Amino acid sequence: MTLLILAFLSVHGSIYDETPMTVNPDPDYRMGTYEEWMAGQPPYLPLEAVTIAGTDGGQFLLVFEEGLTDSLTPGLLDQWTSDIQSGGLTTEVVEVNYSAPEDLRAFLQDRFSQGMEGAVLVGDLPAAWCALEDAKNYQSGETFPADYFYMDLDGTWEDNWIGYPFMGNPGSDGLYDTFSGSLDPEIYVGRIKVDNLTALGDPVDILCSYLERNHQWRLNGDPEPLYALCYVDDDWVPWAPGYQASMQYLYPLTELVSEESATNGTDYIENRVPGDYVWISPFVHSNPGGHYWSPGPTTYWDQIVPALPEARFYNLFACSNCRFTTVHCMGSVYSLCTGSGLAAVGSTKSGSMLQFTPFYSPLGTGSSLGEAYMDWWDYIAAGGLTPSEKSWHLGMVLLGDPSLMPAMHILGIGEGNEAAVTLNPVLSSNPCRGSLTVSFPGTSGTVQVFDLSGRLTASGAMTGSSCTLDLAGATAGSYLVRASSEEGTGTARMVLLR
């Protein structure tokens, strides 16, 4: 067991050490502060929650800002909950007043204890902020809102320092800075915040359009074939094939663009944003309002809607692009304000998602965005959160409806068909020490082994219904084994020992 844990940690360390973090490259851009945010927010009241529909302990909880459900187009809320129920989840709809984040978290804990699995926060609802001890000097001087506070319901989040911990001033200033205990996620949470998108329309109209689009997509999906875009700017070129391989768990037709001169702001806004992609993943230095390409030009937030994107989903490896406390942050613009957007994952600070396979692999087999995002956090938070993991990931948020299943139309879920059968590859040994035989239904097909950052480590063709691979040259650690044949596809997790 000790050996396994050591192998796991060493794999983690190297990825964070070698990958450049996505940061804000504009020295003149000023991130809004916690104090500025609080100055524009209502005062905290003792939490009052009013159930609008459903019952306590519904598996999916819709938390609305007080009074917001009444302003929706009649029937829209029922349509949304009915769609979520068709996806297999019971629902509860509540409205809450503006309380301290700790009170909202306690309410979520209560519902979690009654069987709630995930939630969406709709409207202007409180946010917990953090200031990190920045052991690696990544973008020091950064404070940020962290919705992970509402996913990790039993970890210990403390406010023990005034300013950054390294400054050495004990006391509290409203920003969490010390994290311990069980830091894995208990539930998944998404956020739909529209009140600070006024430059792009009336907030209630934006929300109603979003909910109607959400319904239409659940009904109709998108015309096949489905293409995804993995668009990797210069600093991450060496890892680009791995990023693409991870995305291919969900979209086999993921186009990779990573040649340095090919990735630029002109190509992005003229050819890629309006392109025929259902999912777009840009990898680029950014701030909440722009992508700073090498060699440029910058793509600004107000160029996105006029470019008429067709994409539904975005994974924004783009510093602070999902900082929802900033007016018209790009994550909200992509997911809520375009004519097609449904959700975006990204960060409220420098950093982003990394180690993508634990996210895309469950999406490929029909998990909802929220479930897959929680699977990814489970992987990241195993064994606690290292300084690198906090610095890279603690600002991660899911903007949009977490109950959406990107693969639902690919797999025929909720269209009157049976859910797709998931086939399990059978491994000759697990843990494995070098030679691995994979048995799988079918007579011809392929077996691929990926490491958990999505790099293809080994592959081979099936003979009869099995395939033997030599993994003698691979490093110890966790891998995903993916098999596909005329019978279907399936994935298994495998540990390699040395």
Structure token digits, residue 298 = 């910058």
Judged by CB, which is closer to Ca ion: 69, or 264? 264
User: What are the b/e assignments for 243-258, b being 16+ CB within 10 Å?
Assistant: bbbbbbbbbeebbbbb
Among 66, 117, 134, 177, binds Ca ion (CB under 5 A): 177
Please state, in angstroms and rounded to a whole number, the distance separating the CA atoms of residues 224 and 218.
15
CB of 117 to Ca ion, least distance (A): 14
Using CB under 5 A, which of the segments 101-109, 194-202, 233-241, 429-437 binds Ca ion? 233-241
Q: Which residues contact 82 (CB under 8 A, 6 or more apart)?
A: none
DSSP, collapsed to helix, strand or coil, labels residue 179 as: strand
Among 103, 134, 152, 401, binds Ca ion (CB under 5 A): 152
Judged by CB, which is closer to Ca ion: 381, or 449? 381
CB of 378 to Ca ion, least distance (A): 10
Contact between 222 and Ca ion (CB under 5 A)?
no
β-strand partners of 477: 496
Please state, in angstroms and rounded to a whole number, the distance separating the CA atoms of residues 77 and 79.
5
Among 159, 195, 212, 487, binds Ca ion (CB under 5 A): 159
Dump the DSSP string for 277-345.
-SEEEEE--EETTEE--SS-PPEEGGGTGGG----SEEE-BSTTTT-TTSTT-HHHIIIIISSS--EEE
How many residues lie near Ca ion (CB under 5 A)? 15
Among 124, 184, 389, 401, binds Ca ion (CB under 5 A): 184
Judged by CB, which is closer to Ca ion: 86, or 156? 156
Contact between 117 and Ca ion (CB under 5 A)?
no
Please state, in angstroms and rounded to a whole number, the distance separating the CA atoms of residues 340 and 310.
5
CB of 35 to Ca ion, least distance (A): 13
Among 102, 173, 195, 212, binds Ca ion (CB under 5 A): 173
Judged by CB, which is closer to Ca ion: 53, or 256? 256
Contact between 294 and Ca ion (CB under 5 A)?
yes
Among 35, 78, 154, 205, binds Ca ion (CB under 5 A): 154
Structure token digits, residue 130 = 């953090």
Contact between 182 and Ca ion (CB under 5 A)?
yes
Using CB under 5 A, which of the segments 154-162, 382-390, 456-464, 469-477 binds Ca ion? 154-162
Contact between 95 and Ca ion (CB under 5 A)?
no
Dump the DSSP string for 95-161.
EE----HHHHHHHHHHHHHTT--EEEEESS----EEE---TT-TT-S-EEE-GGGGT-SSSEEE--B
Contact between 266 and Ca ion (CB under 5 A)?
no
Using CB under 5 A, which of the segments 3-11, 16-24, 225-233, 355-363 binds Ca ion? 225-233
Using CB under 5 A, which of the segments 28-36, 135-143, 144-152, 356-364 binds Ca ion? 144-152
Judged by CB, which is closer to Ca ion: 193, or 285? 285
Judged by CB, which is closer to Ca ion: 65, or 184? 184
Contact between 48 and Ca ion (CB under 5 A)?
no
Among 234, 371, 375, 389, binds Ca ion (CB under 5 A): 234
Contacts 24+ apart (CB under 8 A), 208-214: 208/72, 208/73, 208/76, 210/336, 210/342, 211/72, 211/76, 211/77, 211/79, 211/80, 212/73, 212/76, 213/339, 213/340, 213/341, 213/342, 214/80, 214/83, 214/342, 214/401, 214/404
Using CB under 5 A, which of the segments 25-33, 150-158, 213-221, 488-496 binds Ca ion? 150-158
CB of 480 to Ca ion, least distance (A): 24
CB of 11 to Ca ion, least distance (A): 23
Judged by CB, which is closer to Ca ion: 184, or 389? 184
Are 213 and 343 in contact by the 8 Å Cβ rule? The answer is no
Handedness of CA 116, 117, 122, 127 (dihedral sign): positive
DSSP, collapsed to helix, strand or coil, labels residue 59 as: coil
Residue at shortest CB range from Ca ion: 263
Q: Which residues contact 294 (CB under 8 A, 6 or more apart)?
A: 233, 234, 235, 260, 263, 264
| Nearest in space to 246 (alpha carbons), one of 254, 257, 238 | 254
CB of 235 to Ca ion, least distance (A): 9
Handedness of CA 23, 27, 30, 34 (dihedral sign): positive
Among 155, 288, 331, 346, binds Ca ion (CB under 5 A): 155
Judged by CB, which is closer to Ca ion: 173, or 487? 173
Judged by CB, which is closer to Ca ion: 222, or 267? 267
Residues near Ca ion (CB under 5 A) are: 152, 154-155, 159, 161, 173, 175, 177, 182, 184, 233-234, 260, 263, 294
